[in-house]
Chain A
């Protein structure tokens, strides 16, 4: 059992640069079980890059990642999956030519006793989880290129949720969704929170962040502006942090 005082994830002093650009510059954030931490900032602030260091898509140049208090070596996405980290990427990371089930199980296919991929079993499982997440979803045999933006997003969400993640990273998960679907994602996040998952949520909607998150971390130009408890600040405070790149004076203490 993990002690609730030990963070599920600690990102310590993470830095990564591309060419001359410091995309993430000495950023530290942590995440506790059952907590949702929002990541906010302008486009290009380095939010996606930061979480990609955790999901194994990028290798950090410097810094340390601790999981349950132990130093974690995450070299690639396979390593991240071994730590039960699941990610919904901003780009969704779907293979357009494959159907929903093949995408959901990509890299973790169910196989028959003979070691062959078990498409029927995977489709059945996909029907089950989609029945929960998006009951109207019917296009199980079509390649995902034939799906609408919202449907594609729900496939990516299903993939992240299906494999019993302990740490969930959601990079703008509602970008392609309408208001009703966004509401369903909000409910899903509440439900996963109750199951003690830790969630990093990248979202542009400050109101949504205030509603769903426990804490919000604001980034600007690769640097961490600050981490605040959303209950202790107003949306204007958060907006000020995003725009000005520093904590408002009354919070700075």
Chain B
């Protein structure tokens, strides 16, 4: 069995410095492309605002902090949608399931639990969330069961779910808005109190830097153990610098966004602190929903890249028949994947309704489209088998940046829809070109 591949070194001298740089750092070129697109969007909106409106509002700590919070809900669901799309399915029901879970949690914490435990009981928010996550996971598992064992296409099952769960959300609360949510629950949606402050953010930042350095050192050790070629030291150094720089930059950014004056005044009065004449600078720090998203992203990345479950997800997407022949229980995997999607939708419902401070049965309307768009813009292939968690989150950030940017510069809703829709199509087209050229 011969094979005609040339050793990789044979092409070294011919490639330019950029290609060599990318190869030696082993950076994903798609990731670079997405970061480039994101930078272009951010700078574009900022400059447009500066030139046309006389004030660039995009690249400010306030806007970027809000952007991070707004991205959380879609981002959490997009990580689950990656698994669904990678296995050649689709989930059109996530927006409605989000609304349903939010209503269930609202009813639990406003109408049911206070009567049993007493108003303001510390367990209320925990039980409410557990109920919401449970319902989300069960709905997902049920839909997955119909798809896997009933052989009904996912498109149909979740299209039905789109209507069913929105209707069910209405029926549960008779169309009423349920508020106010539990005080602790509300923190999970962000806002000045729903952020971890300056010191907390530095602790998170230090953990982040340690993780970046740890991963690089661990990677080198692994490669040494198994005799796989090392990245050059400068390349690892470069990656470490960029990684740590990004973490520290994020901490500096969220810490430079202060609490609004009114809230500082109320807080100072409550705590008996005297406000100095120049004012009191209290940092927001990372918002809790953003930390939830980061936690989800880490868990999902480990799941997809380091566990058998993730390996099977990709294998099923690449060749469902081969996966079955390799002894993978494809149908049960499908149930688990949709259950996970439902669980993440429940989590997203927590963030979305906590942020709103109430639960309405319209919550999450059209979210399915943004979630699918985020995953697809992030490089998840609808043909199956390909997709990454970080890509989906970047995709969510791109979508949200477009939306926020257009609001900031005063585009109306109609133009926003036109732009977001066009960007989705354009992104997929670019992705197809990219794949064709990298073959």
User: Chain A interface (Cβ within 8 Å of chain B)?
Assistant: 55, 57, 76-78, 81, 87, 89, 91-98, 102, 106-109, 111, 115-117, 120-121, 123-124, 133-134, 136-139, 148, 150-151, 153-154, 177-178, 180-181, 184-185
Contact = CB atoms under 8 A, between A and B. Distances in A.
Interface in B399-435: none
A150 B318 contact: no
Nearest to A82: B327
A147 to B, nearest CB: 8
B319 A123 contact: no
A106 B223 contact: no
A78, A81, A106, A117, most chain B CB atoms within 10 A: A106
A153 to B, nearest CB: 8
A70 B157 CA distance: 44
A150 B1 contact: yes
Interface stretch (B40-48, B125-133, B306-314): B306-314
Given A97-B314, A120-B222, A134-B3, A109 B322 contact: no
24 contacts: A55-B325, A77-B325, A89-B325, A91-B322, A94-B319, A95-B318, A97-B314, A97-B386, A98-B315, A102-B311, A106-B322, A106-B323, A106-B328, A109-B311, A120-B222, A120-B225, A123-B228, A139-B3, A150-B2, A150-B3, A151-B3, A180-B1, A180-B2, A185-B1
Nearest to B316: A95
B314 A184 contact: no
B325 A117 contact: no
Contact of A78 (B4, B306, B327, B386): B327
Contacts of A134: 1-3
A55 B322 CA distance: 13
A87 B307 CA distance: 25
B228 A120 contact: yes
B226 A94 contact: no
B327 A77 contact: yes
Interface size class of chain B, counting residues whose CB lies under 8 Å from the partner chain = 35 or more
Nearest to A139: B5
A181 B1 contact: yes
B227 interface: yes
B1 A133 contact: yes
Contacts of B176: none
Given A97-B317, A121-B226, A136 B1 contact: yes
B12 interface: no
A95 to B, nearest CB: 3
Given A109-B308, A109-B311, A95 B323 contact: yes
Contacts of B324: 57, 76-77
B334 to A, nearest CB: 16
Contact of B307 (A116, A123, A136): A116
Interface string B288-325: 00000000000000100011100110110111011111
B18 interface: no
B61 to A, nearest CB: 38
B7 interface: yes
B385 interface: yes
Contacts of A81: 327
B116 interface: no
B307 A117 contact: yes
A133 to B, nearest CB: 7
B24 to A, nearest CB: 14
B52 interface: no
Given A94-B319, A121-B226, A148-B3, 13 more contacts: A89-B325, A94-B322, A95-B318, A95-B319, A98-B311, A98-B318, A102-B311, A109-B308, A116-B307, A120-B222, A124-B227, A136-B2, A181-B1
Contact of B7 (A117, A123, A138, A180): A138
Contacts of A121: 226
B325 A87 contact: yes
Contacts of B270: none
A154 B3 CA distance: 11
B1 A137 contact: yes
A124 B228 CA distance: 9
Contacts of A98: 311, 314-315, 318
B327 A95 contact: no
B283 to A, nearest CB: 36
A57 B239 CA distance: 46
8 closest cross-chain pairs (CB), A and B: A95-B318, A97-B318, A134-B1, A97-B385, A107-B326, A136-B3, A107-B327, A93-B322
Nearest to B308: A109
A93 B1 contact: no
Interface in B174-220: none
A115 B302 CA distance: 12
Contact of B328 (A87, A107, A116, A123): A107
A150 B225 CA distance: 30
A101 B224 CA distance: 18
B280 to A, nearest CB: 46
Contacts of A95: 314-315, 318-319, 322-323, 385
Contacts of A55: 325
Interface in B1-46: 1-5, 7-8
A154 B318 contact: no
Nearest to A185: B1
Contacts of A97: 314, 317-318, 385-386
A17 to B, nearest CB: 20
Nearest to B383: A97
Nearest to B384: A97
Contacts of B326: 77, 93, 106-107
A106 B227 CA distance: 23
